[in-house]
Each structure stands twice: as structure tokens, then as C-alpha cells.
């Protein structure tokens, strides 16, 4: 594995019912993004952000008092976690202003929209991000573990209802995940790595065998060209090791084995500090963690410019004294773009 590069220094109205999303049940065909149908080398500019943790007054039920939501509330309100994100609305407004002043082609959100997975938090997060507004760029979103905080919130598909505008795409059959969006010369592929867990200390994730099988079919159906994988959970950390046992993606090895030689780079969140893991012999693609866009002292996102086999990375960080995001680091990566069927 290459040497990791640290980037540390450098309640509202409920969402509308989820509508049926476009599906494609033809894994043997080849899906062609529009840009592959004409000459020229197109560029694509993405904004990748994550872990915004919007909080709002929730509607508690009796079952919530016997779930990890109770201990999560105590941690949020009594032990300081909430204080790290109490400026989230202000920072998200600054983020939207920055994106208006520095336009991108597509937004990529890798999960943890909420603090405790309440319906009001999802609605507030979607509102702050401008989902459904004409001036908001198209986007892709996958849920984080806080968005699957309880089995009930996951069963009700609260994330999918509120972020349906950013979950349109090609699918295998009627399953929500995985899905692929054609974006300029590339494909962006969303995978759900988050599951509801019972115990308060358990924040592990899992993709699952069935979703992995669908992902393989989907990847084999896409035309050659740049492919961006998006999950909430990381595969590995800059140390080269997996996450701590109670925070890890349980089947990360299976996912890495599956996508090896089939993606250009991997975007994720979950960790609140930004970092890059360069490609290497055992990891043939770079992995980028956006960190938290709204946590005090972190507050950053990636502006990514993809052109051919070159990926330009700019990290922009919130400056509280200026109430705006500014660039703090830039670098270039070479990425794989041609894949065998």
C-alpha cells in the first residue's frame, strides 16, 4: 500500500413519500453515459462532503427508550458530541454559498445526514442542502450509520424518502442499492454500507452478500471509463489497517476484492478527519475520505476535477472568522479509467 497522505494539516415538515426510482433490469447490457457517445475529453467537477449530523427535535416513541437512540441522545446532549455540530446549519449555508460561487457539476454526499435518525432531522438536512431546489446541482447520496440509527428508521426508509432527488439512477431490478448515475464522462456508483445495530457501542456497517452480487452485475454492465464508488464506511485507514472492531465495515475485504480493477477511485465518510490513501499494488485505486463538513475544527469538503486519467483534488475548509470556505490544499492523482468487462 502507498504511503497515506494526511489532510489534517494542509424539526421540520416530514419529507414526501418516496416515489419509485428508475430501475434497469438488464445486467447483460452495457449502459453508456451520454459523454461516451461523442468525441472530446470531457471534464467533471464534483463536490464531495459527508457527516453533517444535523439535529432537530425528534418525536420520541416508547420503543426509542429501549434502543441506542436513548444513549445516543445522552451522548449528544450531556457529553459534548452535540456541541461539536451546533453550528451545522450555519456551516451548511456557507457551503451552499461556496458552491454557488464555485459551481460544480454534481454533489456527492456519503452519509450521516442526521444525529439520531429522527424524521425531522432528515427533513431539516434535506432543506439545508437545498434538495429539490432548481439552483441546487444534481447529486448522489448514500446513508450513514446515523441515518440507519434504529431498525425502525431504516425500515421506514426515512433517508431514502428525504434524499430521493439524489438517489435516481440505474439499478439491477427493483432494489434501491446499489445504483449508478451517469455524470459527464463518468459513472458514480452508490452503495449502502450502513445497517441498524442494537447495542449502543456498535456502529459497524455491512454491504451484504446480495448487494455485493448486484454491485458486480452493475459494474459489469457499465461502459468503460471513470467510475467513482461512494460508500459511508471506509475500507481501511491511513495506517493500512481496518477500522476499530466496533466501527468497522464488516465485509470490507469482500468489497475491496470485488471492486479491484473495476473502479477509478473510492469516496467515503464515517471518519471526521480528511485523508487520502494513494493507490498501490494491493489497492489499485485511491481512497479519499472527505471528513465531516460541519464539525468544529474540521469543516471541510473536497472539490474534485476529473479529466481523463487525472484527478485534481482541492480541499476547502470552513473559516469561521470569515464565514466562508477557502482552499487549503491541492494535489493531483493519476487514476485507472479502463476496465475489462
Extended strands (E) in 92-230: 106-109, 139-141, 179-183, 186-190, 227-230
- Comparing C-alpha atoms, which of 66, 42, 99 is closest to residue 226? 42
Write out the residue range of the structural domain in which residue 132 sits. Answer: 5-334
Q: Averaged over 232-238, what is the pLDDT?
A: 91
Q: Is residue 110 part of a domain?
A: yes
Q: Is residue 89 part of a domain?
A: yes
- Comparing C-alpha atoms, which of 191, 110, 112, 192 is closest to residue 145? 112
pLDDT, mean over the chain: 84
Q: pTM here? A: 0.86
Are 89 and 128 in contact, with CB atoms under 8 Å apart? yes
Q: Is residue 339 part of a domain?
A: no
Q: Is residue 132 part of a domain?
A: yes
Q: Averaged over 7-12, what is the pLDDT?
A: 34
Q: Is residue 70 part of a domain?
A: yes
pLDDT value at residue 331: 94
Q: What is the 3-state secondary structure (H, E, C) of 205-262?
A: ECCCHHHHHHHHHHHHHECCCCEEEECCCCCCCCCCCCCCCCCCECCHHHHHHHHCCC
Q: Is residue 46 part of a domain?
A: yes
pLDDT band at 56 (very low <50, low <70, confident <90, very high): confident
pLDDT value at residue 308: 92
- Number of domains, the chain: 1
pLDDT value at residue 304: 98
pLDDT value at residue 326: 98
Are 206 and 251 in contact, with CB atoms under 8 Å apart? yes
Give the domain CATH number at 91: 3.60.21.10
pLDDT value at residue 243: 80
pLDDT: which is higher, 2 or 313: 313
Q: Is residue 167 part of a domain?
A: yes
Place of cell 455524470: 183
* Interval 86-100: pLDDT, tens: 899 999 999 999 999
* Interval 305-318: pLDDT, tens: 999 999 999 999 99
pLDDT band at 11 (very low <50, low <70, confident <90, very high): very low
Q: Is residue 318 part of a domain?
A: yes
Are 53 and 118 in contact, with CB atoms under 8 Å apart? no
pLDDT: which is higher, 165 or 85: 165
* Interval 33-55: pLDDT, tens: 444 333 456 899 999 999 999 98
Q: Computed over its alpha carbons, how large is the radius of gyration of the chain?
A: 19
pLDDT: which is higher, 9 or 131: 131
Percent of the chain having pLDDT more than 70?
78
Amino acid at each position: 500500500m502507498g504511503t497515506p497522505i494526511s489532510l489534517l494539516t494542509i424539526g421540520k415538515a416530514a419529507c414526501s413519500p418516496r416515489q419509485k426510482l428508475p430501475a434497469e433490469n438488464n445486467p447483460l447490457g452495457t449502459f453508456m453515459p451520454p459523454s461516451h457517445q461523442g468525441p472530446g475529453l470531457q471534464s467533471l467537477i464534483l463536490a464531495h462532503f459527508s457527516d453533517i449530523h444535523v439535529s432537530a427535535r425528534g418525536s420520541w416513541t416508547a420503543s426509542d427508550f429501549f434502543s441506542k437512540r436513548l444513549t445516543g441522545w445522552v451522548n449528544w446532549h450531556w457529553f459534548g458530541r452535540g456541541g461539536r455540530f451546533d453550528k451545522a446549519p450555519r456551516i451548511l449555508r456557507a457551503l451552499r454559498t461556496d458552491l454557488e460561487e464555485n459551481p460544480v457539476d454534481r454533489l456527492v454526499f456519503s452519509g450521516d445526514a442526521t444525529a439520531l435518525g429522527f424524521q425531522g432531522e432528515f427533513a431539516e438536512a434535506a432543506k439545508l442542502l437545498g434538495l429539490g431546489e432548481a439552483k441546487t446541482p444534481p447529486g448522489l447520496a448514500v446513508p450513514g450509520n446515523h441515518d440507519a440509527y434504529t431498525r425502525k428508521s431504516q425500515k421506514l426508509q426515512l433517508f431514502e424518502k428525504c434524499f430521493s432527488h439524489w438517489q435516481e439512477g440505474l439499478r439491477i431490478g427493483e432494489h434501491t442499492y446499489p445504483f449508478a448515475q451517469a455524470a459527464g464522462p463518468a459513472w458514480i456508483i452508490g452503495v449502502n454500507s450502513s445497517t441498524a445495530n442494537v447495542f449502543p457501542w456498535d456502529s459497524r456497517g455491512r454491504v451484504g452478500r446480495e448487494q455485493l452480487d448486484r454491485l458486480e452485475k452493475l459494474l459489469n454492465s457499465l461502459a468503460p471509463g471513470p467510475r467513482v464508488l461512494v460508500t459511508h464506511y471506509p475500507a481501511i485507514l491511513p495506517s493500512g489497517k481496518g477500522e476499530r472492531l466496533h466501527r468497522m465495515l464488516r465485509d470490507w475485504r469482500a468489497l475491496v476484492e470485488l471492486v479491484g480493477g473495476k473502479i477509478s477511485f473510492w469516496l467515503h465518510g464515517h471518519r471526521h478527519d480528511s485523508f487520502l490513501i494513494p493507490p498501490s499494488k494491493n489497492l489499485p485505486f485511491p481512497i479519499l475520505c472527505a471528513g465531516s463538513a460541519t464539525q468544529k475544527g474540521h469543516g471541510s469538503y473536497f472539490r474534485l476535477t476529473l479529466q481523463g486519467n487525472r484527478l485534481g483534488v482541492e480541499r476547502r475548509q470552513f473559516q469561521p472568522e470569515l464565514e466562508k470556505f477557502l482552499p487549503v490544499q491541492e494535489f493531483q492523482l493519476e487514476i485507472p479509467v479502463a476496465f475489462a468487462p
